[in-house]
Chain A
Amino acid sequence: MLARPALPSFDYVRANTPDEVVRLLQEHGQGARLLMGGTDLFVRMRDGVIRPQIVVDVKHLPGMRSIEYDEVTGLTVGAAVTMNQLARHPQVQTHYPLLAEAANSVASYQVRNRATLGGNLCNASPAADTAPAVLVLEGRLVLHSSQGEREVAARDFFTGPGQTAMRENEFLKAVRLPPLPAVSAGKYLKLGRNKVGDLSIVGVAVFAFPDGTVPSGYVFRIGLASVAPVPLRAWEAEEVLATHSPGEESFALAAEKAMEAATPIDDVRASAAYRKAMVRALTRRVLGSVWEVLE
């Protein structure tokens, strides 16, 4: 009924190679869990939701904690890069400020010292604060298995609450973001019950840039958190902004469409009705502030 006083006992293994991780996953199946920051894993273990026999620490694998930027290929973030590492990385701040902003909105500073980008995505909570940013930045997730590596687009990664496109015996090594247009703007707005440290009741990320091939002259991408079984893109809302010139009227219409895309639930944090209304309010607000930068 209530959480245990402490974690139940488990075996801890620090993996040194990707192959070792895959082997342990094959050996233990559901009995094995991968550890990066532990900010979700340990909480779920203490709550009694899961009880792995073996916890495999993957954050020491090569590249898991590195951030690399290249003008041509873009940004590669190791899965075990922490939120604080990401938020204060100069190149992330310069080239992907939206990602830095999203990372900085997660929980509290102390938690962000441990919580990782990969963990936030793999946990696949509908409320994951970095997910809308990764969705609108069109990130790709690098998955490792015995068959080698494959990439999955973020938009295809989330399949349900806590569910992802990761296959058994597969794990996340890195997140790749393509290089961004020379002119762009992005913003993440989250609504919590208080100012710091809350889970999102609603999270809205918008990323936009000029594009002559689009009727409106601008591409707007909208990502939503905490309002559906998975973090999602508000495609119809984006379509509105591809065909209507940017401004209060089209933003209101797009916000309406974003609200329609949301299928939230009632829970102790908020009702579905409030969440839907907040998708509309926040979307309009974020579109407005992103447009202020671009205009």
Chain B
Amino acid sequence: MAELTSNPVGKNTPRVDAYEKVTGTAIFTDDLQFGPGLYYGRLVRSPHAHALIKSIDISKALEVPGVKAVVTGQDFDTRIGLYLVDRPVFAKDRVRYVGDPVAGVVATSEDIAEEAAQLVEVEYEELPAVFDPVEAAQPDAPLLHPDLGEYKVANFIFPEPGTNISEHFRLRKGDVEVAWPRCAAIVEDTFRLPHIQHVPLEPHVAVALWEPSGQVTLWTSSQSPFAQRDLIAQSMGIPHGNLRVISPYVGGGFGGKAGVSMEVYAVAMARAVKGHPVKLRMTREEEFIGTTVRQALVAHTKIGCDAEGNLLAMETEYYFSGGAYNDYGVNIVRAAGYSCTGPYYIPNVKGDSYCVYTNLPIGSAMRGFGMPEIHWGIEQIMDQLAEKIGMDPAEFRRRNCVKTGDIILTGMKMPAIDLVACIDKVTKAVNWDERRGKARPRPSAPHKKRGKGIAIMWKAPAMPPNPGSSALVRFNEDATVNVEIGAQELGQGAFTVVAQIAAEALGVPYEWVRVSAPVDTKYSPYEWQTVASRITWSTGNAVKAAAEDARRQILALVAEHWDEDPANLDIKDGIVISYKSEREQPLKDMVIYGLPNENFEGWKGGPIVGHGKFMPTYVTNLDFETGQGPRAVVHYTVGAQAVDLEVDTETGQVEVLKIASAYDVGKAINPDLVLAQIEGGAVHGMSSAFEALKFDERGRPLNPNLVDYRIATAADAPRQIHGDIVETPLEDGPWGARGVGEHVMVQTAPAIANAIYNAIGVRFNDLPLSAEKIFMALQ
């Protein structure tokens, strides 16, 4: 038998799902079998960016043999959304982006459904469309949601009815007007980021079954089975208890499978063919426009510092292009607002963050949740300020970055972190001192130029104040353990970390722990969503609590059995031991059957089940006018990246030689998994720097496919990805742990831009950093 791992927290235990995934036996949603009764759905999508629907004729589609139903917006009098309920189930009276679903066709095969979908005739009256978020925020812009004032909205989101502004977050601290004259250097500029897409390996897929009894089951590739249950139940008028969401492994999410996107269409179509499961799956092309994208951003930012390099003031306006529906996106914009300074202590701040409706695909959660967007400009301005006052950019960051105990922009006291240590580690890893003068290494060819850049970041989990996690710990007869959670395994290693935490807290070997999957809202304990880099921390706390509950029960039972004080007992490697009497009791059998009294005169105990929950209770609302409040967020994770690269001056091509990352994760429950995030994040960050989803002047996507949307491949990955882990414990994290899943790509694009500047002396305010753009700038 393989060796057993005691006390696995902090160790590089192998992933619990490694064997399944390497051998291809892991089950994903599209692998599930539904028998001959399975139907398929296809969606009819708007060809226009903005238009009124005059009529929909479904008669020809219904005549196609094999077609079972066609549903349209007329069949649903309801909307759906997480923070702002603004999205109709199918477009009813108007379409708001190219790709907006207007009808769903259900048929016995996907091919028939597709043929019939092409026969649905929709008459449109085109309306003026708006694509730029700054233009869309103007009073005379074409209005996308005339009914905005009637939409249900979370109490911390503030839409402005009569405009396209779905959220406006205000941050006011100190007095910028007083501060500007005291600045020795000021940089003011406009930065733009385009839309990008998550490009998960597994496209979205959902299967819905609406039984004649009213029971509804949804099988889906989802980061949010419970949020989907809640939102779809509310929207479709299904009692929560009648809606069951089952979610097997997810083949990559990156935020794109958070909340509800296309899943509601599967449920809506299933309602029309009760008793038959309906499968809806996105093609790769649909994935780009039919699910969600990262919002585009236009940022006007002004930052100033004194001659010693102390930041004094910042004024910024963030205009996020939220797309056609902002049901999730509004909270990204809020997060960008309350974190608008980036990881810096700045005494005077005026920030306005706007989410603006535009006639483009739906902007929603994506790894970083607003942070990559705002760091793109901030981190370039910091370099420029440092240059203006003649300070090394790393030193400038050490001086100004947030530190433990700082009263940050919202008035919250910064929990313990060590960003300076992160800066020290990444600068060391890239031989930072070689970036200037004679020490500079020679480029690999005469037409190439070498450069190094740095960028730092922060990010808080952006959530409602009270997202909960829960967990159960149960035993098998042989004392192996089943941990039940509602958190999802997206590839990030959540199940592995959860198993480590349970084993450590219980006192059993890691190899004894199994995590129950798939997530099933009928049987799994509640989990808000697998988002916000919150699982290690929040679910981790719940699992730890559940394991400790089970452990308490076991120790109480054995203590009673031995007539000892539970305080003298411990569980080591699955055996209860007494430090006093040195007795031993294996967990095997007793965790199910209990322990017999003397001479078998009755029994005590019974099956052990541990319960645990976690919910932050301390987050407060922020003042509407100033964004001030005692506790804006649960905590921040911080980190630094340094990039070493070469620019080919004859072609504009960039070769990233090395990305060094360091993050303060509080405690690395599994250091290998942290490093895996760092590696994946570096490559993902490169994709976000070099590629964009492009649209023509009528809002039609130009590259919604992998032919022309080029993500970085293994061949493009930096030759070296260096990772360092800093561990400043988080007060309420399990063993001090905080999340790091998203943070690893937040500042990659500005770190690359700063390195390019170091190499060729040219700044780029707009992403993507295409070779063409760099070449043209050099001419």
Contact = CB atoms under 8 A, between A and B. Distances in A.
Interface of A: 1-6, 8-9, 191, 193-199, 268-271, 273-274, 277-278, 281-282, 285
A1 B712 contact: no
A9 B111 contact: yes
Interface of B: 42, 45, 47, 98-99, 110-111, 114-115, 281, 283, 285-286, 289, 650-651, 653, 690-691, 694, 700, 702-705, 707-708, 710, 712-713, 715-716, 770-772, 775-776, 779
Contact of A2 (B285, B653, B690, B710): B285
A191 B651 contact: yes
A274 B114 CA distance: 39
22 contacts: A1-B45, A1-B47, A1-B98, A1-B99, A2-B45, A2-B99, A2-B285, A2-B286, A2-B704, A5-B283, A8-B115, A193-B690, A194-B710, A195-B713, A196-B713, A268-B694, A268-B702, A268-B708, A269-B708, A281-B650, A282-B651, A285-B650
A293 to B, nearest CB: 18
Given A4-B111, A274-B776, 20 more contacts: A1-B45, A1-B47, A1-B700, A2-B99, A2-B285, A5-B110, A5-B111, A191-B771, A194-B710, A194-B712, A194-B713, A195-B713, A195-B715, A198-B710, A268-B702, A268-B708, A274-B775, A278-B651, A281-B650, A281-B651
Contacts of B286: 2
A174 B651 CA distance: 36
A278 B98 CA distance: 34
Contacts of B707: 199
A-B pairs with lowest CB-CB distance, top 5: A195-B715, A196-B715, A274-B772, A2-B285, A281-B650
A178 to B, nearest CB: 33
Nearest to B111: A6
B749 to A, nearest CB: 16
Contacts of A285: 650
Given A5-B283, A268-B703, A194 B715 contact: yes
Given A1-B47, A274-B772, A194 B285 contact: no
Nearest to B650: A281
Contact of A3 (B281, B285, B653, B776): B285
Contact of A8 (B98, B111, B770, B776): B111
A277 B110 contact: no
A5 B98 CA distance: 18
Nearest to A48: B118
A216 to B, nearest CB: 25
B291 to A, nearest CB: 13
A274 B702 CA distance: 19
A2 B707 CA distance: 13
B713 A197 contact: yes
A197 B779 CA distance: 28
A214 to B, nearest CB: 29
B110 A6 contact: yes
A2 B287 CA distance: 11
A194 B716 contact: yes
Nearest to A196: B715
Contacts of A197: 713
Contacts of B281: 5
Contacts of A8: 111, 115
A242 B771 CA distance: 33
Contacts of A194: 690, 710, 712-713, 715-716
A281 B771 CA distance: 13
A3 B708 CA distance: 14
Contacts of A9: 111
A269 B42 CA distance: 30
Nearest to B691: A193
A197 B713 CA distance: 9
A269 B692 CA distance: 11
A6 B285 CA distance: 12
A271 B779 CA distance: 15
A197 B545 CA distance: 49
Contacts of A271: 772
Nearest to A198: B710
A283 to B, nearest CB: 11
Contact of B283 (A2, A191, A281): A2
B283 A3 contact: yes
Contacts of B47: 1
Contacts of B712: 194
Nearest to B706: A197
Contacts of A2: 45, 99, 283, 285-286, 289, 704
Q: Which of A1, A9, A269, A285 neighbours the largest number of chain B CB atoms within 10 Å of its CB?
A: A1
Given A270-B772, A274-B775, A5 B42 contact: yes
Nearest to B779: A277
Contacts of B776: 273-274
A102 to B, nearest CB: 18
A281 B285 CA distance: 34
Nearest to B717: A195
B649 to A, nearest CB: 10
A237 B344 CA distance: 56
Nearest to B648: A281
Contacts of B715: 194-196
Contacts of A6: 110-111
A2 B111 CA distance: 14
Nearest to B655: A195
Nearest to A280: B650
Nearest to A192: B710
A3 B716 contact: no
Contact of B770 (A193, A278, A281): A193
A198 B703 CA distance: 13
A9 B66 CA distance: 15
Contact of B775 (A1, A268, A277): A277
A1 B708 CA distance: 16
A2 B690 CA distance: 24
Contacts of A273: 776
Nearest to B290: A2
